Amino acid sequence: MHASTASGKEGDSAWLETKRMSPTRKCHNQCLQFYYYHTGNEADQLNIWIREFQDEQDVKGTLRLMGQITGSPKSYWQLHHVSLNATKHFQVVFESRKGAGSSSGGFSIDDINLSETECPHLTMQINDFGNLFNTSGNARIIYSSRQYSRGGYAYRIGIVLDKSFFGLFVQLLSGKYDDQLEWPCVNRQVTFQMVDQNPNIQQQMSKQRSITTDLRQFNNGVKNNFQKVSSEFSTTNGVPYDYWSVMHYGKNAFSNGNGSTIITKDPKFQDVIGQRKEISPSDVLELNRLYKCNSAIAFKMHCSFSNGGMCQMNRCSQNGTGWQMVMSVSGGPNSDHTNLPEGSGVHSGQDAGYFMHAGTASGKEGDSAWLETKRMSPTRKCHNQCLQFYYYYTGNEADQLNIWIREFQDEQDVKGALRLMGQITDITPLVNGSALPCPEVGPVEVKHPPTNRNGGPCATRIFTTIKPPPKTTDDDRILTTKPPPKTTDDDSIFGVSPGLEASPVLTLLVALMLVIHR
């Protein structure tokens, strides 16, 4: 959608309103995400409002300004988040307002998503990432602006680009609340999330890492990690040097950003060291020798469904399609976990390919599909086991993946007794505040306070859908000004769009999102 500010007078505005919606969660927090393209005057504004209604009979509602975009125009699409806190029936309103001075463009918006979650505290968008990554040298660092956590700590985010890798780090800065804060800054968590460009946030693939500050990490140096020691202090129990060991440091461990700290004698293992996916065969051998074991008794079973094998598992269903062994599913996932989220497949040609899927698209409420392992027996005095698996969830928020154990009295017992040990379902309880307090929406920074808050050209509130104007040329251009490139097509959530026109777009970016929890 595009709204031009090239004509008209200062203060003229065009409004784009969504349909009415209602909050469904106890925590009244919503996150509005969209892309925008600003080609107008630096005094033009894109105001983001919410209009709240007392009841279904209220047709006017009350407007509250939640965000404003203004300033110098840019020649690329930008990702933007606005934190909302609607408590009643509401709609989101985008207002493009013409500022003082001349303009040759306007505002464009695309790929709008609204979710009942907290927005990231910081979003860093890197344009032309591929070119920057390939041409970077000697660890080029891109910094964010100074930010403040909810606890008052000042920080900034650094992105390191060095041809063969890129990394992220947090740097604490001096701030205006330093004399009121606890130092050292311990027990604080930072979560990084890198997302792809899929405009539908429900289908985005992402990579997430969390860092928690620990008092034990505050030391005077890290060189002691590279000191050589004799066999009197350390031994591999006769196992040869293992590049694949899960205990091996990565090539950039403890680096100050000026290059790798570990260089393998065999160059082909430079990008192997530091893997954390699984323990290697040499790790197992060394542990067995250390504890004088004949086998790895800690592992009761492993099943990757490689080559279509079921690992002696049974499956049954109740009026449903049941568990199926597949290589892909329409709507995701497109491959098994070894190709997600990296995309290359660390075990390509070995375990990659098959996985189990149970569809909930058909049947009635309560239908279930069961997948059972073979019978196993505890072998240790401490009766503790850890079940680890990857899952991919594309169903309804009310669907459940229940994890049970079935215990048998003896070998003649064929029924056993079930105990529920875990459940994967909607994260509503977490967001609702049973685990964390509801976050608060901060103040809105407004450079140009708008007037006529309860007015606007959409006074009739007629909720109809306006079709795009007919095609008049062969190249799809329907604007007098040059439109930005198109990102995608998606389902409209809008009721009325006066004064706005559709425009095509194409762009590529990497967005990095940060959420800081105290």
Q: Do 485 and 2 contact (CB within 8 A), yes or no?
A: no
pLDDT tens, position by position, 163-188: 777 788 888 887 888 888 877 666 77
Instruction: Render 148-191 in DSSP notation, one character per residue.
Output: E-TTS-EEEEEEEE-SS-EEEEEEEE--TTGGGS-SS--S-EEE
pLDDT tens, position by position, 267-305: 778 888 888 777 777 888 888 888 777 665 556 777 878
Q: Which of 305-319, 428-442, 499-513 has the highest mean pLDDT?
A: 305-319
Local structure of residue 357 (DSSP, 8 states): E
pLDDT at 149 over 60: yes
pLDDT tens, position by position, 104-133: 999 999 989 998 888 888 888 887 777 887
Stretch 54-63: mean pLDDT, rounded?
A: 91
- Percent of residues in the chain assigned helix, strand, coil, to nearest 5: 10, 30, 65
Q: Do 277 and 302 contact (CB within 8 A), yes or no?
A: no
Q: What is the largest CA-CA distance in the chain?
A: 87
**Rounded Cα distance, 508 and 510, in Å:** 7
Q: Do 82 and 32 contact (CB within 8 A), yes or no?
A: yes
In the chain, what are the domains? 2-122+442-512 (2.60.120.200), 311-375+387-438 (2.60.120.200)
pLDDT tens, position by position, 196-242: 666 565 565 566 666 665 444 433 456 556 556 666 667 778 888 88
Q: Which helix (H) or strand (E) holds 283?
A: helix 281-290
Helices and strands (DSSP H and E) totals, the chain:
3, 23
Token couple for 53: 């209604």
Residue 502: partners with Cβ closer than 8 Å, 6 or more residues away? 1, 2, 468, 469, 478
Of 81, 77, 80, 10, residue with least CA distance to 43: 10
pLDDT at 489 over 80: no
pTM of the model: 0.50
Which residue's entry shows tokens 């004949």?
Answer: 294
